[in-house]
Amino acid sequence: MKRLGVLWLVVFISLAGFGITTIPFPFVAENLGASDFWKTFGGSGVFSLFQLIATPIWGRFSDAYGRKPILILSTAGTILSFVWLAYATTLESLLVARAFGGIMSGNLAAAFAYTTDVTDPKDRAKGLGIVASAFGVGFAVGPVIGGFLGTIGGVPNMHWPALASAGLSALAFVGTIFFLPESLPAELRKPFGKSEAKIEGAARSTDATSEAATPAPRRSPLEAMRSRPVLLGLVAASLFIAIAGGVMQSVFQFWGRDLFNYSLRDIGVHFMVFALLSAVGQAGLVGPLAKRFGEKHLAITAGIGVTAGLVLFATAQNDAMVWMAICIFGLANGLFLPAITSLVSFEADARSRGTVMGLFNASSSAGRIVGPALSGPIYFKLGPAAPFAMSAV
């Protein structure tokens, strides 16, 4: 648990930095002349597109060389991406900086793979929930800071939020180097060009003792996913929930401003509550609920909750309905991720877990691409309620 505590702090700091830039980005893009599409897709969509490309690669590298080197390298790249973002003065440079940030986001998949390395099967959902809560808490703190820093000078800006994000990422970089030990034993690593036969015994021993399971046949994670309908179903469910989350997080700024006259600071507070409730679900509730009802039933119930939250967003007429939507959507979203991540981890053997988790996270990235890509044009052409209504359906 000590290692999970250190990992929690590292992930929290990283996500706080990311959250700081989330709030002002759409308005900065709008002021730079972005089209309806780029207003919502330019921030999270561009980031997630390049994250989708890079995450499976980072996952394979973490299987080959360990989790810690990947965490260090990707965090260093994240620092550079934020500095780039701070000094971007055109829409094109803003978008390229976000693309580079997506490429260097391998720390997210590595963090989940690290967690599965250091937790027993019976405690895996709880461990994943604890680490996932760092995403929620970090994303709660970040938008509030971004809402304040993004208004320095009287107009939305990225300079101060991005510099603050770079500073926080630098803290995560130092913490990873000095306080986070490696989690993947050398005998379970899969260096490029090394025969799997050389690690078969170690993998079999690990799977037998930690999961009491027969190791999977020698096949790639993609082949395993194609041949296991359950795993494919989990990936599809993650994709759809990620689309819903991408829609909410990409249009809420405009939705709040246009319907309720929310300021950047107001929007930051709403994002904070959403993220804190997600963290409560991830860290405080998912463990006992998973043990009582099982990860499968928990994931299904959370998915229903996400749909209910979207319906409330689509029909909100006042602040009370907005807060109700935020609370239901946030809590359900927080319960869904660790539950379904735990289910996926049980489907992957120890030799390929990092790669499979990377592919699973890539499916979430795909959802976060589709959501922002559709939400902007739909929002500005069909009205504020349309993106939420379509996501609920």
Q: What is the pLDDT of residues 169-218, one digit of tens each?
A: 898 899 889 988 887 777 676 776 555 445 445 444 444 444 444 444 44
pLDDT reported for residue 229: 66
What domains does the chain contain, in order, with CATH numbers? Answer: 2-180+219-392 (1.20.1250.20)
Angle subtended at Cα 103 by Cα 100 and Cα 105, rounded to the nearest 5 degrees: 110
pLDDT of residue 360: 77
Most trustworthy range by pLDDT among 90-99, 152-161, 296-305 = 90-99
Which tokens is 45 given?
């969509």
**What pLDDT, on the 0 to 100 scale, is given for residue 314?**
94
Q: How large is the average pLDDT for residues 349-375? A: 76
Rounded average pLDDT over 35-58:
87
The model's pTM is: 0.76
Summarize pLDDT for 297-345 with one digit per residue, the tens.
Answer: 888 899 999 999 999 999 999 999 999 999 999 999 888 888 888 888 7
First and final C-alpha spacing in the chain: 40
pLDDT at 224 over 60: no
Predicted confidence band at 54 (pLDDT cuts at 50, 70, 90)? Answer: confident
What does the angle CA 20 – CA 25 – CA 336 come to, to the nearest 5 degrees? Answer: 60
Task: Tell me what pLDDT residue 350 has.
Answer: 63
